[in-house]
């Protein structure tokens, strides 16, 4: 499985971006998918996760109400719509495939070690 993240860029505070994660080599339709981010000098952190149908979604508290994760299983793609961006959202954003299918607990979705395939990352920079 290869995951290709795209759509990052430079945006002013308050602006919006949508980043995408397209998969090849295998269908992702039954897997839980997640987005993580890593800022310079910091550990990689959980941002959002979505179950196979989109019916169960988890977010880190700092992005609730501003970010929306979604998926299009027909296109084998996962999205992260980011609105009201803040300078502290600046990071490299990574998509990843969870080892489990269909659905997982909130705790499981937040644990990096539960993800087996990772994209290469896309840089999001928010200027103040």
Q: Per residue in 57-98, pLDDT tens? A: 999 999 999 999 999 999 999 999 999 999 999 999 999 999
What is the number of residues in the chain?
A: 128
Residue 27 confidence (pLDDT): 87
Over 90: is that where the pLDDT of 101 sits? no
pLDDT over 90 percentage in the chain: 91
User: 29 pLDDT exceeds 90?
Assistant: no
With b meaning 16 or more CB within 10 Å and e meaning fewer, what string describes 23-49?
A: beeeebeebbbbbbbeeeeeebebbbb
Measure Cα distances from 75 to 8, 22, 24, 66, 93 in Å. 19, 8, 10, 24, 20
- The rounded radius of gyration (Å) of the Cα atoms in the chain is 13
Q: What is the pLDDT of residue 88?
A: 97
């Amino acid at each position: 499985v290869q995951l290709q993240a795209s759509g990052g860029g430079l945006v002013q505070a308050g602006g919006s971006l949508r980043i995408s994660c397209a998969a090849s080599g295998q269908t992702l339709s039954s897997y839980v998918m997640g987005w993580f981010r890593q800022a310079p000098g910091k550990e990689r952190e959980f941002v959002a996760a979505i179950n196979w149908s989109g019916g169960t979604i988890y977010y880190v508290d700092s992005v609730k109400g501003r970010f929306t994760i979604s998926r299009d299983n027909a296109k084998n793609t996962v999205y992260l719509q980011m609105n009201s961006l803040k300078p502290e959202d600046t990071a490299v954003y990574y998509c990843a495939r969870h080892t489990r299918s269909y659905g997982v607990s909130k705790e499981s979705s937040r644990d990096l070690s539960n993800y087996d395939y990772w994209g290469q990352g896309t840089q999001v920079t928010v200027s103040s």
